[in-house]
Each structure stands twice: as C-alpha cells, then as structure tokens.
Structure 1
Amino acid sequence: MNQTVISSLLPVILLIALGLVVGKRGWIRDTSVKDLANLVFLVLSPALLFHAMSTVKVEQLSLWPVASYFLGAGVIFGGTLLVMGFDRTSVVTAIANTYSNTAMIGIPLVGLAYGPAGMVTLLTLVSLHSLVLLTLATVAVELALAREQAASGQGTRRHIVAVVGRAVRNAVIHPVPIPIIVGLLWAQTGWQMPEVIDKPIQWLGQAFGPLALVMVGVTLAHTRVGTHFKGALLLAVVKNLLHPVLVFGIGRLLGLSGLPLTVMVVAAALPMGANVFLFSQRYKAAEDLITAAVAVSTGIGIATLSLIMLWMG
C-alpha cells in the first residue's frame, strides 16, 4: 500500500479502535457521549477551524472543486428520490447517501495526508457542506410532509419560504461555518494574532483530531446494527464508493486535477456524518436503518478510503 495512505490512515484507525475499546469497556458511558461531543464541536472544532483559516487569503480559495462535490451529491440525491419515490424516507436516505463526515474524520485525515494546502480545499467545502446539503434535505422533507398532510386532509404546513429561511439560519449559525468565516475575515486584515491568544487557540485545535476520532470509536461501540445490516451496507456502498467516483468524473469534466480534485474525491469517500442520524431522528423516518448505516459506513470506511486514496495516487 502507498506509504502516504498508510501514514495517514493508520493513526485514524488506531484512534477509532481506541475509542471502540474505551466504549466497550464502559470507561465512557453512553450517557457521557453527548457531553464529550459538545466539547469536541463547541470548543475544539471552532478553535481548529478559526486557526486554520486565519492565515488564508481569499485568492487562495477555489469553488470549482467544491462544485464537483455538490454536483456529485446532487446526482445521487436526485437519483435516490427517483428510485424510491418522493417521501420522508427517501429524502432521509438521499441525505445519508451524500453527507460526509468532513469534520471528525475528514479534517484529521486530510491534514495528515495532504497538509495545509489540502486543508484549505477541505475547509472551503466544510464551510458550505451543511448549508447546502442540510438546507436541500430540509426543504425536500418539508415538502414531502406537506404532501403527506394534504393527502391525509390534515391541512398545510408552514410556507416554504419560512422553511428555507429556518434551514439556512440553522446551517449558518453553527459551530462549523462561523469560525471558518471569522478566521477568513481575520486573515484579510493582515493583523498578527497576539501569541498569548494564538497559542491557546492552537492547542485547542490540536486536541480536536485525536479526541474526535476517539469519539467516533466510542459512538460505534454504543451503536447496534441488528437486522438492518444489508440495507445499511447498501447505503454505505453508495456513500463510500459511488459518491467519490461521481465526484471524480464530474471534476474531470470541470477540468480539475491534482490536489484539489484529490481532496474532493477523498471527502466524498468519507463515511456518513452524524448529522444524518440526527436528521432521521428529527423527521422520524428510517431511524434504525440510518443509525445502522452510519455505523456500517464508518466501519467499512477504512477499507473504502484506502481504495479511493490509492486510486487517486
């Protein structure tokens, strides 16, 4: 196996495995997972994202690689609705097929494999990831619910403008895009961050990767796949393999190559993100299947990521 793939994936595997052991032995109980997740997402993640973008100039950013990711996701999202029909379950399945774990797994992995330049490309995607995909899914599922209610004679739901507005607000006012935007704005000022402030932010950001990966393992230890394995495996194959292949093809059509294309393909190959599970819970659609799919997608993600990274060279 390529040395870069080994050196990038092995630390990820070891930390997730450590989390599995910790979870299985009960050192971190199921009731404590939410508190640790809050620490990761509300404290460590913003510090890392701000620090990573605080030295990036706007001219370094490119939206073409990000466009290839979202176009690939759009093809799979629309295809899922065509195959399954338009209802809550199909929308939830569609977001499961397209929403990557760009934070907890993506940031540590891309940082190890592709360095600061790769991180700039990934964080450009991260800043828009939830905004685009969760807004799309929210609008679609609200339309599906309105259709269900109209068919059952229960009246109409909120106006679609209100639905879109709420979805956009929730996606923007979030601990992921805000520190990216603030860090980018800070970089444009040219000001130097005082070391007494910069150093603690840097330390917090450095703690994100290891703790986030351990948390992935702990979450897997408390997840039961049960009778949904076959359905979960199908969703995982679509997410982990079909999505990156589509992104690669679309990226080539857009004239992309080199590191930007590689990072987007690897981002598309990442396992399903935790927001997929939360989305299914919120709209009470296919909760058990999606829970199993997130676990299976993460479980086979090491193998599928290895294949994709080797393929991209």
Structure 2
Amino acid sequence: MPLDNPVLSSLLPVVLLILVGYLSGRFNVIRQEAVRDLSNLVFLVLIQALLFRTMCAVDVAHLDFSALSIYLATAAGLFFVLLVAQGGSSRAAVLALSGIFSNTATIGIPLIGLAYGKEALVVLFTLISMHSLVLLTMTTVVLELCSAREQAHAGHTRSGHLRTIGLAVRNAIFHPVPMPIIAGLLFAQTGWVLPGVVDRPLQLLANAFSPVALVLMGVTLAKTSIGQHLRASLVISSIKNLLHPLLMTLLGYAAGLRGITLTVLVMAAALPIGANVFLFAQRYQKAEELVTASVVVSTVMALFTVSLVMYLLPLWVG
C-alpha cells in the first residue's frame, strides 16, 4: 500500500501518536499517577473547546436532516441492540458506544477529503456537526440512567423511579459533553461571531484534543494487556468497522440515498472507533482496558476494512 494512499495517510498518524503514548508509558516518561490528570485535562478542558467551537459554526437552517437522520437512526438503533445484548448496564453502554462512534474528525476529514473531494467534505461536516450532539448526548443519558440504577441497587435504596430518572437526566445535561454542545449550538443561532481573542485560544485547545487524547490512549495501552482482551476487541472492532457500514449501506440505499451522500455516510460508519469512547470509559471507569484495546485494534484493522469498503462502495452506490 503506497504511502500516498488516502487510507494509509489518514490512519498512520493516529497509529504513530498512539505509539508515542505507548512508549511514553512503557518507559515511565508519563507515569500511571498522571493518567487520571491527563484524562481530566482532555475530558474537562480540551474536548470542551472542541465541541463548543464546532457547534458555534452550525447553521441549523442549512443542515440536510434527511440524510443525517438516517445515519443517526442507524447508529442509535445499533447502539440499543448492543446495549440490550450486553445486559443494559453502564459497562454495556460504553461498549455499545464503541460499536457506533466513529473517528470522523482525525481520520474522517483527511481520508474523505483526499478520496472524494470538497463535495464529500460538505456532507461530512454536516454529519460532524450533529454526530457528537446526538450520539454522545444519547450515551450520556443512558449511562447516567444505568449508573443511577446500579447505585440504587448497590445501596438497596428505595428512591422512586421518577426521582432516579430526574437525577440521571439532570446529570446528563450538566455534563462535560452535552453542555458545550448545547451552549455552542445556542450561540450559533444568535448569528454572532466569536471575537478573535476568544476564538484563537479555543482553536488551539481544540486542535490539541486529538493528539493528546491519542497519546493518552497509548499510555493506557502500555499498562494494558491486549492479549487477554484480543478476542473481545476483535468482536467490537468487527461490529464497528464492518457491521456498522453494512447496516448504513442497506438502510441508506433502502431510504433512497445514492451517490456522494451515501458514499460519505457509509465511509463515516466504516471509520474506526473514536477517541471519545476511550474518554467515556475512563470517565465512568467501565471497561477501560477493553475499550483501549478495541480502539487500537479497530484503528489497525481499518487499514484493511476501510480499503475493502472503498472498493465495494461503487458496486452499491453506483
């Protein structure tokens, strides 16, 4: 595979950043005690800037909700099937998110831009504008509901169902992921523009999100035995890299999507697991090692699965 191949040129930087983190963790350049602080930096600072700044540029009036809704409905449907199949716990919710949440920015933008051009990027940016808002907010609500239920069972409390749901919804709204998304979306609808003195620092913080998150993932990987999680991570990666795009192809085609729109949505579904899933696993301390292994396996597997999807797409899309 030549180095100028769009798949390789998009995935290789991700693999190398994870490798940098792995070596840093292996040789104790970044010690285990610092991992939680780095995780807080990424989750409570960098991702805030990224989500708020992304949503500030969203003009709801110009979004193509028809195609977008098909992608999000496909992902949400698969999420709840995986959630139920794995027992409906908070751990199951994190693993279900692994099966649907794509690395649309770090890998998707350069890959789809190189392979399909500017027209395809318009479709992708439309998807990115709602991708985190819908899928991460949905997962946050489910995680908070599951966590509230599990805490109630553990403490043998008899608090009412409505109170439990109310607390979970409140925690889901006042949460590091939905809050900047909602705030940015509301700001975008005012028509105002962020002044440069504010936008520039936000841009720098947002740009730092992906590399720092991937390095952090590598540090965690250095403390993780992939061998004991290999089988499970292969299953999760296969669901993300193969089943997700297959479902998107079938449902998108059945809904009448064709051409570049369907191509981009299927390619987005075929992308490997995004770093946000790893951060959710760390935040809720659920399946951290398995999710870390799955992100790495999914990214490496994508070298072959994304190439396969790109090869087969013309047969479906026409």
Task: Say whether the fold is shared (TM-score over 0.5).
Answer: yes
Tell me how far apart the structure 2 counterparts of residues 241 and 307 of structure 1 sit (CA, whole Å).
11
1-structure distance, mates of 2:47, 2:34: 19
The alpha-carbon distance between structure 1 residues 30 and 71, as it changes in their structure 2 partners (threshold 3 A), is same
Distance 1:267 1:222, change over 3 A: farther
Q: Are the structure 2 counterparts of residues 228 and 255 from structure 1 closer, same or farther at C-alpha, using a change threshold of 3 Å?
A: same
How far, CA to CA, are the matches of 1:55 and 1:260 in structure 2? 24
> Matched residue of 2:189: which SS?
helix
**Contact 2:148–2:168 (Cα < 8 Å) also in 1:** no
Would the alpha carbon gap of residues 76 and 209 (structure 1) be closer, same or farther in structure 2, given more than 3 Å must change?
closer
- Note the C-alpha offset of 1:299: 2.2
Distance of 2:41 and 2:100 partners within structure 1: 17
Task: Report how many residues are paired.
Answer: 296
The answer (yes or no) to whether the contact 1:100–1:270 under 8 Å persists in 2 is no
Secondary structure of the residue aligned to 1:97 is: helix
Q: Name stretches of at least 5 consecutive residues in structure 1 with no aligned partner.
A: 282-286
* 1:12 equivalent among 14, 32, 52: 14
Separation in 1 of the partners of 2:150 and 2:36?
A: 30
How far residue 114 of structure 1 moved from its aligned partner, in angstroms, is: 4.1
Matched, 1:303 2:305: no
The residue identity in structure 2 corresponding to 1:77 is: F
Change (3 A) 1:121 1:79: closer
Matched, 1:74 2:73: no
Read off the aligned partner of 1:299 and give its amino acid letter. V
1:293 corresponding residue in structure 2? 290
- CA 206–92 in structure 1, closer or farther in 2 if over 3 Å, else same: closer
Correspondence for 2:183: 182
Is 1:96 the counterpart of 2:77 in the alignment? Answer: no
TM-score under structure 2 normalisation? 0.76
Letter in 2 for 1:295: T
Structure 2 CA distance for partners of 1:245 and 1:119, relative to 1, 3 Å: same
The residue that corresponds to 2:53 in the other structure is 51
The counterpart of 2:132, out of the listed 118, 126, 130, is 126
1:261–1:125: structure 2 CA closer, same or farther, 3 Å change rule?
farther
Question: Of 136, 142, 155, which residue of structure 2 is paired with 1:136?
Answer: 142
Distance, in Å, in 1 between the alignment partners of 2:41 and 2:210 is 12
1:26-65 CA-partner distances (Å, limit 9, x unpaired): 1111110111122222222222222223232112334443
2:291 maps to a residue whose letter is V
Change (3 A) 1:92 1:107: same
- Preserved CA contact (<8 Å) 2:7 2:303: yes
CA distance in 2, matches of 1:38, 1:143: 25
Q: CA RMSD in A?
A: 3.5
2:109 — aligned with what? 111
Structure 2 gaps of 5+ residues are: 114-120, 314-318
Residue 28 of structure 1 is aligned with which of 8, 27, 30?
30
The code of the aligned residue for 1:81 comes to V
